[in-house]
């Protein structure tokens, strides 16, 4: 099974900060890595697919990078609505899929 | 705009079968570009993929659920369903239905259906 490890597990930041979340795969997954945002009480929402492609309607302050085993999600300038939990998900081992454990982004 | 909506009982007894249905609106479930699936999230925990199905057949489920999963598609109703047998308290979770792109991302998601397993 392919394991995804996110770091940090939680993060405190301020509005306007630049924030980076990392997702590391237990083996190479090429660019088969997707990112989601989940706000309390809501379903997750797709932000980035195939490592760096921005989903339609997602603000351009979100960006994804990486390939192989190491990936990052960066928010260039935090907005109040960005405080949420973020998950990475791999599709390299399709039709089996796994998620990272999540990174909770909180207001400092 | 495609929308998904889960429906089904919110309370299931231990050892029984959990059954949920997802109704798809704003698009056809018979699209060749997508699978349809289920993901769950136990209270306060992360996300777990349960299983997926294609409109014309072909299903896949998470081996960790030990063959308790059936995902099926009803094209006549534009719906797909989840059956999870022999449930225990560990199956208590919010269950989301999702559309799965062939390249492996989940979008959109239903709003989620909370299910509690308890006698």
pLDDT in tens, B51-90: 999 988 889 999 999 899 999 999 999 999 999 999 999 9
* Closest chain A residue to the Cα of B40, Cα to Cα: A43
Token pair, residue B49, equals 């993929």
Contact state of B104 with A94 under an 8 Å Cβ cutoff: yes
Report chain A's mean pLDDT, rounded to a whole number: 97
Contact state of A91 with B103 under an 8 Å Cβ cutoff: yes
Name chain B contacts of A89, Cβ cutoff 8 Å: 47, 105-106
- Render pLDDT for A36-71 as a digit per residue (tens, 0 to 9): 999 999 999 999 999 999 999 999 999 999 999 999
Contact state of B105 with A46 under an 8 Å Cβ cutoff: yes
User: CA-CA distances (angstroms) from residue B66 to A99, B47, B51, B88?
Assistant: 19, 18, 12, 13
- Residue A86: closest CA among A9, A14, A3: A9
pLDDT band at B31, cuts 50/70/90? confident
pLDDT band at B32, cuts 50/70/90? confident
- pLDDT, residue B35, reads 95
Interface of A with B in 11-70 (CB under 8 A): 32, 34, 36, 42-46, 49-50, 55
Nearest beta carbon to residue A87 from set B46, B96, B101: B46
Q: How far is B81 from chain A (nearest CA, A)?
A: 18
Residues 6+ apart with CB under 8 A from A31: A50, A51, A52, A66, A67
* Closest chain A residue to the Cα of B104, Cα to Cα: A91
């Amino acid at each position: 099974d392919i394991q995804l490890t996110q770091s940090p597990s939680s993060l405190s930041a301020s509005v306007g900060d630049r924030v980076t979340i990392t997702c590391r795969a237990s083996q190479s997954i090429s660019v088969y890595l997707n990112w989601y945002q989940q706000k309390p009480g809501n379903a997750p929402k797709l932000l980035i697919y195939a490592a760096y492609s921005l989903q339609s309607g997602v603000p351009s302050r979100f960006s994804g990078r990486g390939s192989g085993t190491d990936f990052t999600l960066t928010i260039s300038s935090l907005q109040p609505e960005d405080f949420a939990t973020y998950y990475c998900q791999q599709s390299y081992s399709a039709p089996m899929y796994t998620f990272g454990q999540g990174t909770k982004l909180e207001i400092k | 705009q495609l929308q998904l909506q889960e429906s089904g009982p919110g309370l299931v007894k231990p050892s029984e079968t959990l059954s949920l249905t997802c109704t798809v609106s704003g698009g056809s479930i018979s699209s060749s570009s997508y699978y349809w699936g289920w993901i769950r999230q136990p209270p306060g925990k992360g996300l777990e993929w349960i299983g997926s199905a294609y409109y014309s057949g072909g299903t896949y489920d998470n081996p960790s659920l030990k063959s308790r999963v059936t995902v099926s598609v009803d094209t006549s109703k534009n719906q797909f369903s989840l059956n999870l047998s022999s449930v225990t308290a560990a199956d208590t979770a919010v269950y989301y239905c999702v559309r799965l792109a062939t390249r492996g991302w989940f979008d959109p998601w239903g709003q989620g259906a909370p299910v509690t397993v308890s006698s």
